[in-house]
Amino acid sequence: MPPPFARWRDALEKMHPALYRLVVYWPAIQPSAGAPADLNAINGGCLRDKQPCAGYRGLRDQLRALAARQAEGGWEGFVVITGTPEWAARPPSGCERSRIGPTNRMPRSDVLPAYAKLVRDILKAAKEEGATLRYWAPWNEPNHPYSSSPQRAAPCGAAQPSVSAAPYIEVASTLEKALAKAPGDQGYVIGEVAVMIRRLAVTTTVDEFLDAMPAKLLCGARAWTQHTYIGGEDVLDDVDARLKAKGCGDMAIWMTETGAGAPRTATSRTGGRPAELRGCRAVHRILGTWYRDKRITAAVQYTLREDDVFPTGLVTTDLTRAYPALKEWQQWGLRARERPGDPPPARARCG
């Protein structure tokens, strides 16, 4: 393995997560309706156009690597599907922001059999490689226009009803049936929603989205999954109240995207080293708060290598150095705390 990648592979090994979030970008592996998804499609291993790069054979290699990690313990597979191939996308409609294209729209109802086949193909490949994929999310951030457009009916306005739930429910129901028919122990989660609390023309609030979920589909999920970044709004009480109102009782809540930095698309980190240290200490505080909250049973750092247009990672995009929060996450890892009831780290470790 090239040296920059080897260094951070070893750093990740020290974190030893209990859960690994595997994002599957559908358009990249099935650009044509006439051919099945190519799980061996070469990935250049760059971050978009950013060096350094280390190529690999797509999803198949990721599953092979995941199986090797799972053999050591931990690393439960959690699949999140996102992005619609152009041939499968719904036509333009409703209130759409600029720069929206087919990949930002949800799949049409008539192509859902292809979505189900994608799920079956991934499960089959995982079995062949020896990996387990126990948890599945139907779609990423269905209340955000980059993942599901439109969010509201036309003419554009915050007062217009949200239309994002209906296509999501179709996809989630398709996933539920596909997983139930497949051999093995796997189930779905519901949500993967961005924290949206204000009604806007091009987004859907968490409350609106939850209110639109059918109780049977919602309560049948293994967890409600929420994205919450350091410094963002706290929607936990609203989520919990709505889950209970739907009859879901004490449903588990997972924070499946979190991190410190600049969690807005196309923004940059500011404040230098002092800001990085403040972010690390904030990570320690929020993880401690979530640990004490019995409703929350998982928290997932997004990502290891920093996405330069969504900078909340643990290692710089060019792989030259780590941010202080890396060591904080390492002391929360499965090897540091092997049982759920083990006490949390007493102090922040911002190396």
Per-residue pLDDT tens digits for 102-126: 999 999 999 999 999 999 999 999 9
pLDDT at 266: 64
Query: How high does pLDDT run on average in the chain?
Result: 95
pLDDT at 264: 74
Question: What is the C-alpha separation between 312 and 276, in angstroms, rounded?
Answer: 10
pLDDT at 171: 98
Window from 15-29, 57-71, 208-222, 259-273 with minimum mean pLDDT:
259-273
Query: What are 287's two structure tokens?
Result: 């993880």
Integer CA distances (angstroms), 176 to 119, 150, 152, 290, in order = 10, 24, 26, 28
- pLDDT greater than 80 at residue 265: no
Please give the model's pTM, rounded to 2 decimal places.
Answer: 0.95
Q: Do 262 and 312 meet the contact criterion of CB atoms below 8 Å apart?
A: yes
pLDDT at 338: 84
Each residue's pLDDT tens digit, 230-253: 988 999 999 999 999 999 999 999
Shortest CA distance to 276 belongs to which of 330, 313, 232, 249?
Answer: 313
Torsion of CA 132, 134, 140, 141, to 10 degrees: -150
Each residue's pLDDT tens digit, 133-155: 999 999 999 999 999 999 999 99
pLDDT at 144: 97
Shortest CA distance to 27 belongs to which of 100, 94, 106, 98?
Answer: 106
Query: What are 189's two structure tokens?
Result: 């989660």
Whether domain 3-330 has CATH 3.20.20.80: yes
Mean pLDDT, residues 325-345: 90
For residue 318, the 8-state DSSP code is: T
Residue with structure tokens 């030893």?
16
Mean pLDDT, residues 49-64: 95
Mean pLDDT, residues 192-201: 96
pLDDT at 339: 85
36-45 contact pairs (CB < 8 A, 24+): 36/117, 36/121, 37/117, 37/118, 37/121, 37/122, 39/63, 39/121, 39/122, 39/125
